[in-house]
Amino acid sequence: MRLEHRDLPEAAARQHREGWLHYLDRLATAGADGDPGSDPWLEAAMNEAASP
């Protein structure tokens, strides 16, 4: 499968690259019957959302 984001502003393109690298590594681990463990990005987002 090939997925492309096009015409993103440079700042958004950087964020998308970082996100895809992070989550594709986790997906590859899970796809190989491994356990990628808890997602530190999700935990950080949940902690941020919970703080007043």
Query: Residue 27: which domain range?
Result: 10-50
- At 47, which amino acid appears? N
Does any domain span residue 14? Answer: yes
Q: Which two tokens stand for residue 6?
A: 């096009």
Mean pLDDT across the chain, nearest whole number?
Answer: 89
pLDDT of the residue at 47: 85
Dist CA 42 CA 51 (whole Å): 14
Instruction: Confirm whether pTM is higher than 0.85.
Output: no
Asked if residues 39 and 26 have their Cβ atoms less than 8 Å apart, the reply is yes
For residue 48, pLDDT beyond 90: no
Dist CA 27 CA 23 (whole Å): 6
Does any domain span residue 3? Answer: no
Number of domains, the chain? 1
H/E element, 43: helix 40-50
For residue 50, pLDDT beyond 80: yes
List, for residues 17-46, the tens digit of each pLDDT value. Answer: 898 888 999 999 999 999 999 999 888 888
Does any domain span residue 45? Answer: yes
pLDDT of the residue at 37: 94
Residue keyed to tokens 């492309």: 4
